[in-house]
Structures are given as C-alpha cells and as structure tokens.
C-alpha cells in the first residue's frame, strides 16, 4: 500500500512538472474551431508525430520559451495535431479520417494542411476564416525544428499581419524587433 501511494505521488509530481514546463495553452483543432465562433483568432497548428525526435526537442526548447509561449497564447489558438491520430475530425462538413498504410498511416487533415508534404515537425498558420497563410510563396507550411529565436520572427510575422504586406525575409530585415537581442541572432531561413 505504501509503495502504491509513493508511485501515485511520483506520477502526480511528474504530471504537474510537465504541465509547468509547457506554458503554451494547447487545444485540439475542434476546440480552436469552436472558440473561433465567439472570438476570432488565427490558428497555429503544430503537426507532429509521437515518434518524431525533433518534435520533442521543439516542445522542450522552443514552446517552453516565454516569448514564444506568450505570442502563441495571446495571438493564436495553439493546436497540436498528431499526423497519425486515428480519431476522425469533422471540419466544415467534411470528415477527415486516418488512412492506414504501411506500419502507420496518416490523418487526412494533416495531409491536407501540409499539401501531402509529410515532414515533422511542421507548422501551419490559418487566418480567422480558416484559410492557410503561406509563409513562403508556394508553401502551405513551415517545416523543421527551430530554436526560439529562429521561430519567434515567423510567429510575429503572422500575428502582426505583416504577411499581407511583404514577404518574411523583407519583414525580418526591415521590421522585426527581436526580443532575443540582435537581428543576426534570429535569421529567418527556409
């Protein structure tokens, strides 16, 4: 009995510690769509898989950064979408399903958001009307691991609607003010 209580206490402490280390208020895609009905915001979608090592590094290093978390929480509905989840997602009258192939499979919503360019981690921005905001011309998403100082310019570019006026390279060169120090420390790369 004593060992069971000790185990439960350890699990509780571990769970609380994990929650404290992740200041981003993650919600599901369906929750973001529902919240958008009463308060319009852009949606940030982190498309990941459970087996993706760089996704875990992004969670640990980038999404725990106070500047990144603040921007995600204040300006976006932050969504985590497992590209291999098996649960259906109903969106705008279409049911997106998990499609098995090989040892795994892919969720149709993830494939649609990433234009079938399945790499992880990958990030998609939607405007208030659920339209994809391209970061780079011809690309629906922003693929790859980014350190906080590399990721923040993209978030700020979208949050401030700069994507409507200029490309991301021009924005960073002429408009972006990094909270991390010099502009050189946050070079936007594709």
Going from the N-terminus, what domains does the chain have, and what CATH number goes with each?
22-186 (3.40.30.10)
Q: Does residue 172 register a pLDDT over 50?
A: yes
Q: What is the pLDDT of residue 171?
A: 93
Side-chain half-sphere exposure of 182, counting CA atoms within 13 A: 2
Give residue 4's pLDDT band: very low, low, confident or very high (50, 70, 90).
very low
Q: What is the mean pLDDT of residues 33-44?
A: 96
Higher pLDDT, 138 or 25: 25
Q: What is the pLDDT of residue 137?
A: 82
Total-model pTM = 0.84
Q: Does residue 184 register a pLDDT over 60?
A: no
Give residue 21's pLDDT band: very low, low, confident or very high (50, 70, 90).
low
Q: What is the pLDDT of residue 3?
A: 45
Contact 186, 178 (CB under 8 A): yes
When the pLDDT of each residue in the chain is averaged and rounded to a whole number, the result is 87
């Amino acid at each position: 009995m004593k060992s069971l209580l000790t185990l439960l206490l350890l699990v509780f402490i571990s769970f609380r510690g994990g929650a404290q280390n992740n200041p981003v208020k993650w919600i599901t895609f369906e929750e973001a769509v529902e919240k958008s009905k009463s308060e319009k915001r852009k949606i940030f979608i982190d498309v990941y898989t459970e087996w993706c090592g760089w996704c875990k590094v992004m969670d640990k290093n980038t999404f725990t950064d106070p500047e990144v978390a603040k921007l995600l929480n204040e300006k976006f509905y932050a969504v985590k979408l497992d590209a291999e989840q098996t649960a259906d997602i109903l969106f705008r009258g279409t049911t997106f399903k998990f499609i098995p192939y090989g040892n795994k499979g892919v969720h149709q919503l993830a494939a649609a958001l990433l234009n079938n360019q399945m790499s992880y981690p990958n990030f998609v921005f939607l405007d208030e009307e659920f339209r994809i905001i391209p970061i780079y011309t011809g690309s629906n998403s922003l693929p790859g691991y980014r350190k906080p100082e590399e990721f923040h310019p993209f978030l700020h570019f979208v949050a401030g609607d700069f994507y409507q006026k200029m490309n991301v390279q021009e924005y960073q060169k002429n408009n972006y003010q990094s909270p991390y120090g010099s502009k050189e420390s946050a070079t936007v790369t594709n």
